[in-house]
C-alpha cells in the first residue's frame, strides 16, 4: 500500500463505508468518507484524491453520474462497487469510466490488492525518456500521449493498456495476455479488456467505428498499428 495515499470512499451504506475506511486506514491510507456522489463531487473539485472507491447505486448522485462527472476533468483511478453482479452490469460500469469493478459482497483483502495495484501504476512513471512510435509520441515520465501531434487524455487503465500495446508495435496481443500483463489478473472477465479497448479507440482513432490504429484480429486479440503514412 502506498503510505499516505488519499483515498475517497463514496458509499451510502454507513456500515460498508466505515468498514472499508477503517481497513484502508489501517493499511496506511488517508481516507475521507462521503454518503453520496454530490457530496463527494463537491470535495473532489476542491482537492483531488489519489483514488476513488465509488458505490454504483446511491441517492442524489449515483456512481455512474459521479464517474462521468469526474472523467470530464480527471483521470484519477476509480474502483466501482456494486450489488449488480453480471457481465452486462460490469461492462456498463467500466463504460462510465471506472478503472476496476468489484461486486458485493467482496473481500476486503481483494479490495486492498486492487487499490494497491491502481495506486502503484498511477504513481509509477516507468522509463523516463520520451519515445515516438510512428504517429504516437509518449512521455512516460508524465504519462502523456500524443496522436499525430494532438495530446489525448487517458485514464490510468487506458494509459497502461496503450503503453503495453505501443511497446509491441504491430504485434498481435490476446485479451488473456492483456489481462495478465496490464491488469495483473491470472484470471478474469476478458470483457474488461474489450471495454477499455473501446474507450481507448474513442480517444486515439479518427473514427472509432472504423479503427485505423487499434485493430481487432478476430480470434487472436488486438494489434496496434503504428506505421507512418498510408491509408487506414
Taking the C-alpha atoms of residue 27 and residue 72, their distance in angstroms, rounded to an integer, is 30
Residue 164 burial (10 A CB sphere; 0-12, 13-18, 19+): middle
Tens-level pLDDT at each residue, the chain (232 residues)? 566 889 999 999 999 999 999 999 999 999 999 999 998 999 898 888 999 999 988 888 888 899 989 988 888 899 999 887 656 666 666 777 788 888 888 899 999 988 988 888 776 655 557 888 888 999 987 888 999 899 999 988 899 899 999 988 889 999 989 988 888 765 567 788 898 999 999 999 999 999 989 999 998 999 999 875 445 6
The domain tally of the chain equals: 2
pTM of the model: 0.65
In a 13 Å sphere around the CA of 184, the CA atoms on its Cβ side amount to: 12
CATH of the domain at 51: 3.40.50.2300
Q: Do 37 and 94 share a domain, yes or no?
A: yes
Where does a domain end: 123, 142, 164? Answer: 123
Taking the C-alpha atoms of residue 43 and residue 213, their distance in angstroms, rounded to an integer, is 38
Q: Do 189 and 111 share a domain, yes or no?
A: no
Where does a domain end: 123, 154, 177? Answer: 123
**How many other β-carbons are positioned within 10 Å of the β-carbon of residue 171?**
11
Domain boundaries, position 139: 131-224
Q: Has residue 205 been placed in a domain?
A: yes
Q: Has residue 214 been placed in a domain?
A: yes
Whether 154 and 170 have beta carbons less than 8 Å apart is answered as: no
Amino acid at each position: 500500500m502506498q503510505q499516505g495515499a488519499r483515498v475517497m470512499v463514496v458509499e451510502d451504506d454507513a456500515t460498508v463505508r466505515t468498514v472499508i475506511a477503517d481497513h484502508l486506514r489501517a493499511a496506511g491510507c488517508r481516507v475521507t468518507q462521503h454518503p453520496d456522489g454530490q457530496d463527494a463531487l463537491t470535495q473532489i473539485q476542491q482537492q483531488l484524491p489519489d483514488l476513488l472507491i465509488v458505490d454504483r447505486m446511491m441517492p442524489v448522485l449515483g456512481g455512474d453520474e459521479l464517474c462521468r462527472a469526474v472523467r470530464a476533468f480527471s483521470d484519477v483511478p476509480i474502483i466501482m462497487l456494486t450489488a449488480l453482479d453480471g457481465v452486462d452490469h460490469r461492462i456498463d460500469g467500466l463504460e462510465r469510466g471506472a478503472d476496476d469493478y468489484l461486486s458485493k459482497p467482496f473481500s476486503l483483502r481483494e479490495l486492498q490488492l486492487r487499490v494497491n495495484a491502481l495506486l502503484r501504476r498511477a504513481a509509477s512513471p516507468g522509463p523516463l525518456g520520451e519515445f515516438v512510435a510512428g504517429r504516437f509520441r509518449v512521455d512516460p515520465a508524465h504519462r502523456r500521449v500524443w496522436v499525430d501531434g494532438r495530446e489525448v487524455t487517458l485514464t490510468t487503465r487506458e494509459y497502461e493498456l496503450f503503453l503495453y500495446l505501443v511497446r509491441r508495435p504491430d504485434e498481435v496481443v490476446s485479451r488473456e495476455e492483456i489481462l495478465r500483463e496490464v491488469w495483473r489478473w491470472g484470471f478474469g472477465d476478458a470483457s474488461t479488456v474489450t471495454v477499455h479497448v473501446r474507450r481507448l479507440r474513442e480517444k486515439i482513432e479518427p473514427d472509432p467505428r472504423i479503427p485505423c490504429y487499434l485493430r481487432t484480429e478476430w480470434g487472436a486479440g488486438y494489434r496496434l498499428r503504428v506505421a507512418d503514412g498510408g491509408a487506414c
